[in-house]
Amino acid sequence: MRHSFVSVLSGAGVPIEEISRLAGHESTEVTETAYWHRPALLGGAEAMDEVFPEEDREP
């Protein structure tokens, strides 16, 4: 779930510093090395958009 969490936030354009803080990391280093694989994250974010289409989201 952490990879999905980071992926969705990254795909939404959330800065790595904010993602790192929300994931509970003390610095961006862990987020960048363990979770933030940018090309893979974009694919994950796109997949999550298909699973949870915008029209199904609450405002």
Residue type present at position 30: V
**Per-residue DSSP letter, 57:** S
What pLDDT is attached to residue 50?
83
| Mean of all residue pLDDT scores within the chain | 78
CB of 35 within 8 A of CB of 23?
yes
What 38-41 contacts at long range (C-beta under 8 Å, 24+ apart), as own/partner pairs, is: 38/10, 40/7, 41/6, 41/7, 41/10, 41/11
> pLDDT tens-digit profile of 28-56?
888 877 776 555 556 677 777 888 887 76
Predicted confidence (pLDDT) at residue 22 exceeds the cutoff of 60: yes
Q: Where are the domains of the chain?
A: 2-53
Helix (H) / strand (E) element for 54: namely: none
